[in-house]
Amino acid sequence: MSEKEASTDSTMASSEPKDFEHALKELEQIVRDLEQGDLPLASSLSRYERGVKLVGTCEQLLSDVENRIVELQNTGTKKDFQSTTVNDQSK
């Protein structure tokens, strides 16, 4: 088994990434591996499947953050935000 295949197998065995940044980093590595075209077909398919799963994870994490931002925007008033911004600029 080549070093790249061993790396592929160990990545596939890993659990969910702990945060968005780790998921994105792993996804970027998968893209690089697939673009090189050095992997056997079965390994390429496994990497592709992992990539699809990571895309879903990233989308979910981004959606959660977006929802949290909307929630935060809705809890404050625009007047409060504007007055804070104006005060900060005058310093």
Return the C-alpha torsion angle 20, 23, 29, 31, nearest 10.
-90
Mean pLDDT calculated for residue range 15-20? 89
Mean pLDDT calculated for residue range 15-19? 88
Report how many domains make up the chain: 1
Q: Kindly tell me the burial class for residue 23, based on how many C-beta atoms sit within 10 Å of its own C-beta (0-12, 13-18, 19 or more).
A: buried
Cβ neighbours of 48 (radius 10 Å):
15
Kindly report, residue by residue over 19-37, the tens digit of the pLDDT.
999 999 999 999 999 999 9
Domain limits for position 62: 3-89
What CATH number is given to the structural domain containing 29? Answer: 1.10.287.1040
Q: Could you tell me the pLDDT band of residue 81, with boundaries at 50, 70 and 90?
A: low
Please tell me the pTM assigned to this model.
Answer: 0.66
